[in-house]
C-alpha cells in the first residue's frame, strides 16, 4: 500500500462546505470495544461532526467532565425529561439510565451539522424507528477475551467488568441490525474504516446537490 494515499478524513477538510442536511450516526458496541477511542479521533479529524452528549444517572468517572462526556443528572431529573418527551431515545444500561436529548440532535441536522450518538442497541432501535435516516455502525472486538483485557487496562473495577462481560452477548447479538460493522483489531485500521463510513455518508447525493447545481 502506498503511503501517498490520504486517509478519508484528509480528503474532506480542504474543500469543506456543510451539507444541505447533517447526517445522524449511531455507534454501538459492547463495553471495551473501542467506541470512545474511535469517536474521539473522528470528532477531532472530521469537519462538521459533533458528539451528542447524553444524560445519565450514573456517577462520573475520573477524567470525565459534566457536559462533555455526559450530563450527569439525578434519577428525578431523568424521570422528568422522559415524562416531558425531551429524549429522542432512552434506555436502562448496566443498571443505570441513559438518554439522548432530542433538541440538540434536531437543531444540528437542520443546520447541516452531523451528529454522532454513542448509545446501546436498545437506544439504537428507538432511533431507527423515529429517524429512519440514521446510519448505524457497530464496533466489534477481535475476541471476547480482548474486550475483557481492554476493560482491565482501562482500570474498570472487577465487579463492573463482570457485569459488563455478562451483558456483552446481548449487545453482540444486536450487531446484525446495523448498517456497518467495523472490526477494531488493529486500531489504526479501525480509525480509517470508521472514518470512511462517515465520509461516504457525507458525500451522498441528496446532501451534495449544491455541487452539481453550482456547475
Ligand atoms: P468503549 O468506549 O467501547 O468502552 P474504549 O474506547 O474506552 O472502549 O476502549 C477501551 C480500552 O481499550 C481503552 O483503554 C482503549 O485505549 C483500548 N483500545 C481501544 N481500541 C484498541 C485496540 N484496537 N487495540 C488495543 N487497545 C485498544
Ligand atoms: P458508559 O457508562 O461506559 O459510558 O456507557 C455504557 C453504555 O451506555 C455504552 O454501551 C453506551 O453506548 C451506552 N450509552 C451511553 N449513552 C447512552 C444513551 O444516551 N442512550 C443509550 N441508549 N445508551 C447510552
Q: What is the Å distance from ligand 1's center to 32 Cα?
A: 5
Instruction: Say if residue 1's pLDDT is above 70.
Output: no
Q: What is the Å distance from ligand 2's center to 118 Cα?
A: 6
Q: Read off the pLDDT band of 3 (50, 70, 90).
A: low
The residue among 43, 191, 46, 170 whose CA lies nearest residue 117 is: 43
Q: Are 136 and 119 in contact (CB under 8 A)?
A: no
**Residue range 68-112, pLDDT digits in tens:** 999 999 999 999 999 999 999 999 977 799 999 999 999 999 999
Relative to the CA of 27, which ligand 2 atom is closest?
12
36 CB under 6 A from ligand 2? no
Q: CB neighbours (10 Å) of residue 63?
A: 7
Q: In what order do the strands lie in the sheet with 70-72?
A: 70-72, 54-56, 96-101, 87-93
Relative to the CA of 118, which ligand 2 atom is closest?
12
Protein residue with its CA nearest to atom 19 in ligand 2: 99
Query: Where do the domains of the chain lie, and which CATH numbers do they carry?
Result: 8-52+113-214 (3.40.50.300)
What pTM, to 2 d.p., does this model score? 0.93
Q: What is the mean pLDDT of residues 27-50?
A: 94
**Residue range 176-202, pLDDT digits in tens:** 999 999 999 999 999 999 999 999 999
Helical spans, DSSP H, in the chain: 8-12, 35-45, 75-83, 102-110, 121-130, 144-154, 158-173, 187-202, 205-213
Q: Which residues pair with 137 in a beta bridge?
A: 27, 180
Q: Are 91 and 119 in contact (CB under 8 A)?
A: yes
57 CB under 6 A from ligand 2? no
102 CB under 6 A from ligand 2? no
Protein residue with its CA nearest to atom 1 in ligand 2: 31
Q: What is the Å distance from ligand 2's center to 54 Cα?
A: 8
pLDDT the model gives residue 169: 80
Amino acid at each position: 500500500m502506498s503511503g501517498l494515499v490520504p486517509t478519508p478524513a484528509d480528503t474532506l477538510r480542504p474543500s469543506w462546505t456543510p451539507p444541505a442536511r447533517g447526517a445522524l450516526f449511531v455507534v454501538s458496541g459492547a463495553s471495551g470495544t473501542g467506541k470512545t477511542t474511535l469517536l474521539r479521533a473522528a470528532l477531532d479529524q472530521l469537519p462538521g461532526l459533533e458528539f451528542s452528549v447524553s444524560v445519565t444517572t450514573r456517577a462520573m468517572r475520573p477524567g470525565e467532565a459534566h457536559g462533555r462526556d455526559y450530563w450527569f443528572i439525578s434519577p428525578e431529573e431523568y424521570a422528568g425529561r422522559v415524562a416531558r418527551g425531551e429524549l429522542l431515545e432512552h434506555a436502562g444500561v448496566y443498571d443505570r439510565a441513559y438518554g439522548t436529548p432530542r433538541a440538540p440532535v434536531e437543531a444540528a441536522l437542520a443546520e447541516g451539522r452531523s451528529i454522532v450518538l454513542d448509545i446501546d442497541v436498545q437506544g439504537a432501535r428507538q432511533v431507527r424507528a423515529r429517524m429512519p435516516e440514521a446510519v448505524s455502525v457497530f464496533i466489534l472486538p477481535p475476541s471476547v477475551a480482548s474486550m475483557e483485557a481492554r476493560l482491565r487496562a482501562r482500570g474498570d473495577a472487577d465487579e463492573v467488568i463482570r457485569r459488563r462481560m455478562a451483558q456483552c452477548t446481548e449487545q453482540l447479538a444486536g450487531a446484525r441490525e446495523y448498517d456497518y460493522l467495523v472490526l477494531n483489531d488493529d486500531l489504526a485500521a479501525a480509525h480509517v474504516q470508521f472514518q470512511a463510513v462517515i465520509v461516504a455518508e457525507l458525500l451522498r447525493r441528496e446532501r451534495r446537490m449544491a455541487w452539481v447545481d453550482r456547475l
